[in-house]
Structures are given as C-alpha cells and as structure tokens.
Structure 1
C-alpha cells in the first residue's frame, strides 16, 4: 500500500514482509530487536550465496520512502530469482547464488509512525514529543526516534566528536546523538545484528541529494572509491568524499571492519520526499542496488 497522503508505514512493511515470505521459500524474515515502543525490527534474507550484503532504510523517520524503495527492490529481486527472468539486465538467479542479501527496511518504525500520524493526546509520549517539537503538532520533519535521538548519530565512531559538533544537548526532532553511544534499542539492535553476520559490504539508504558517501576518516578499504564510482555510473548519482561527519552506521562499519560501506542519498528535493516521486527514484536506484550486489 503506497498512499500519497499517508506514505509507507510500519504496517505496510509488516504486510509486505508477510507476503514475500509466503510467496517465496527462499525469503526469510527475522526479528533482530525491538523499537522503544516495542515494534519488532524486521530483517529480510534473500539468496543463498556466500557473500553477505546488508542494506537498510529509515534510520531517519522522515526518510520513510527508503523503506518502500527497499521493499520494492526485495520484491523485484525475489520475483526475478523465482522466474529466472533478468532484472535490469542482470541474472537474478546467478546473483542470488553468489550473494545473500539482508535487508532491514525500517530501522526507526516509531519515528516513521510519528511523522505520518502525529502524536495525538492518546500517544504515550504525547506531552514530551510536543515539548521536544517546540509545541508544534506537525511532525513531518522529525528525523529522530520516539525519544528524540538521531539514530544515525548513535554509533561508537568518534561519537564524542559528533556530539560536540552537533551541539544539541537534549531530545528533539534531529541531531541529538543521545546520552551515550548505542543508548537507543534500535541502534543497539543494528550493532548486534551487524556483529552477528560477517557482512562483506553495507549500504545505508537515506534521502535526499542523489549522492553516494563512501569514505570514513581513511579507514575505508583501498577499493572503496572505485566501487563508489561503479555505483555512480549505474545510477547517475555522484560519489562524494565526505568529511566532518561521525557516529553514523556506515562510519562505524567502515571503522570497525575496514570493509566497504556506503550511504546513498536517494532522490532529490526536500524531506520527506513525496510518494508521487517514488517510481522515478526507484528507476534511478534499482541499477545501483543491483550493482551493489555485484561489488
């Protein structure tokens, strides 16, 4: 269900996962943790190959379109794998013999729900959320989780530097790194999940800007820039060597494992990107995601 008004929400994710698992025997779903409000954090596994690739979306609440994009990709890849038909010129069956894809489509379900439905008086966090949001009942620009913590500033990769740079001392819509690294259950679940599987590469999907960030403080492997170039050629997105940013998921992965990690800023405009632009963004993104499986 892709509603222009409501967007792609947690219930859409759960139903989409149920359908994929029910339709394809080679797709499995796992609960890797729970959000602050107790929502199961779902991971989908597709493929049987030795190379382990991970993709995630909706670290930031108002970037919920990334969840819809990843679910569409998982569905298209699975259908092509099942039928033996090519996807964007690639043989899915061959790819899925070489790669196991792990997708966490929605890291921040509480935040996504907040941006789409607001915080009515019945919401258990109603009073605090209004206070943190400056009294406004409009939450469409909210990036953080339900406790006002930016989940992509939560990882132990120069976290103190990021905290000083942000200069945000308490919960709010964005940029508060939390009281300490991995304080939030969603970020801690992602760290445990990543530590439990030897991923060869990770890709964190964000919006917007049509850019690919591929480096982190020179911890990235030597081939990272070349691989980013391949992703850029597949999509038209621009590889960018980023500085002045720490504590993100791909930052931590690169520093911890010295393996390729990418943040892809999908689409162009202003967050949240409207569902009306979904098809065009997916046309750009699908070749990039397929190329990522081949890296």
Structure 2
C-alpha cells in the first residue's frame, strides 16, 4: 500500500518525481494506475509507494535458518515477482526454500550451506537475491551488468541453505528435549561447541552423498561412522537434504550449477574428464571476474558438482569462497561478496547460452 502523497509541482513529470524518491518509473506508474503521465496537473496527488527503508538482508552478524526465512518473507513482500517454493525438508523437518529469479528458458542453479559451518555462503546467496531483485525492479545495472537482459534470458534457482539443521546447530546448539540431542552431543564428544560441525543433524556430510564414485570417496575418507564431518553415509542419497536437491536438479534443465563452499579462494571446475569441452575456458572467465584460482581437482568424488557433471556433462562449479579457517568471520563478508558478485552474474551470462564463447 502507498502511505505518502506528492503534490505535482510546475515542470514535474512522473520521471522527475520517480527520481526524487529514488524509484523506478515503472514502479511509480504501477502505484498510480489512474494517472495519465501525459496530463499531469499542478497540485495533483501522486501516490508514493512504500519501499523497504533499508536493506532487508543484514550482513553483519550470524545468519541462520530463522534469519533466512524472515528475510525471504520480506523480500517476497518487496519484490512480488520473486517465486518461492521448497525442494523438500531436512532431517529435522525444516523446509528447504528455493527462490526463482528470472523468466528466461535457460535455467541456472546456485546453492549454499551444504556444510553447516560454511553458513556464510547462505548469506552470500541471500544478499545476491536481494541485490539482483532490486536492480531488476529499478531497471538499474548491477556490477555493470544489464540485469534486465539476464533476467529475461535466464531463470536462476537459488537454494541458499541446503543444510538448515546443521547451520542451526552451529549457531545455537540443541536443547535437551530435542530428539537428536543425545546422539548429536555424543557425536560431538560431549562438547557444546559446534563451530566445526559440517554434517547434517544426523552426522552425515551432505556433500559426500552423491552417486559419483561414492565408494571411492568413502574409502579415501576412511571415516567409520557419523560425526561432525566427512562421513558420507552408509550409501549414497540416504539423507533427506541430499535426496531433495538431487530430485530437484533432475526436475529442472540446468545449463550450469554452482555450489558455494568455503574457504580457499578457488574454483573447482572438472570431474574425471567428464566436464564439457569449454569448461576450462569458462572457468578462466570466472577467475578473471573474481580473482579466484581455477583448480583442476583429482582424488575427490561424491560431491554435488561431481555428480552433476557426471550425470549431465554440463558446467558445474564448486566455489570456495573467502580464505582462512571455517567458520569464516562475518567481517570477511563484504570482501567475499565484492569478489563474487561478478562471478555470479557471469554464471548467468554463460548459462543464458547467448554467449558465443561457450
């Protein structure tokens, strides 16, 4: 609803008024359907639509599941063109949200927070959702990119938090009445410090859950059972979070996927020589816009990116954001985001299929 009125002054047009209130012209026009912009009268009332007074997604503190859900509600209210859904539920029953931005027929997917103590990647993606939506809404560029063109060419599906239970565990621990309490504390050697926990609430590493030479990764890890990290389960795709994102991926036609992790300032782009022929050229472009180092991995299997490349022979990337010791301090957020916003936009440009370089 609109809460303010502007009375037209001599010489003003709707475009001038929109600029005065830092609005897109289309936004102001939509809020005033009864006004003919060619026949404004001095003293005529123009309704000024409410907008968020400040950024929705705050990037200065810990970011968990409750903050994500709250911000998704606020973003949907601010930008009704965002399409929000769920890919399924976590082991503890939490909904795993997905956000669609764009109307194009070329589909791209970004996800974050596979690992609980890498929760900052969920915040990274939430901030990108807000900035991309805002730039599109206002008809303004984002990091010197024409957002409207990308929006019309691609549909970006973002799953900010694949592992919500693990993220909440890292931030808040568990109360004694929780059904997972005894097992989780036993797996954590009785400690209430969960800052190093990577797994889901059942002690399974979700990024070792995919059927891409899963047995080899299990043998390489040599982890006997559930715990804070590195146990890939008794078999591939036993965990509801991994099952959900695998099924979601199969339900779409993604041309490119990016899984955001921390920390190395590196981009992993290959898998057992199954990646498409242009992948190395593409990763060089991603490296150029981010400053991150392309790394051709060997001796690593069972990850989401690995499975996607194996299954579809399309572009898949693991982005190791930031540098340091997990969990990365929130003070690094602005630097990480500045490095990676261009990479995320470049991924959309590549995924659109309009780029003759790929």
- Deviation for aligned residue 1:24: 1.7
2:89 alignment counterpart: 34
Distance 1:191 1:173 in 2: 22
1:109 alignment counterpart: 164
1:206 alignment counterpart: 261
1:268 alignment counterpart: 323
Distance 1:78 1:120 in 2: 37
- Higher deviation after alignment, 14-23 or 96-105: 14-23
- Deviation for aligned residue 1:203: 0.2
- Deviation for aligned residue 1:119: 2.4
Deviations 1:4-63 (A, max 9, x none): 56x100011111111222222321111110000100010000000111000000000000
1:125 alignment counterpart: 180
Distance 1:111 1:72 in 2: 21
Q: Secondary structure at the match of 2:124?
A: helix
Q: Secondary structure at the match of 1:113?
A: helix
- Equivalent pairs counted in the alignment come to 294
2:235 aligned with 1:180: yes
Higher relative contact order (CA 8 A, sep 6+): 1
**8 Å Cα contact 1:4-1:274 kept in structure 2:** no
Which structure has the bigger radius of gyration? 2
2:194 alignment counterpart: 139
Residue 152 of structure 1 is aligned with which of 179, 182, 207? 207
Using structure 1 for the length normalisation, give the TM-score. Answer: 0.98
**8 Å Cα contact 1:153-1:176 kept in structure 2:** yes
- Higher deviation after alignment, 128-137 or 41-50: 128-137
**8 Å Cα contact 2:59-2:333 kept in structure 1:** no
Which stretches of structure 1, 4 residues or longer, exceed 6 Å deviation after superposition? Answer: none
- Deviation for aligned residue 1:2: 4.2
Distance 2:58 2:204 in 1: 27
- Residues 239-254 of structure 1: pairs in structure 2 closer than 5 A: 239-254=294-309
Gaps of 5+ in 1: none
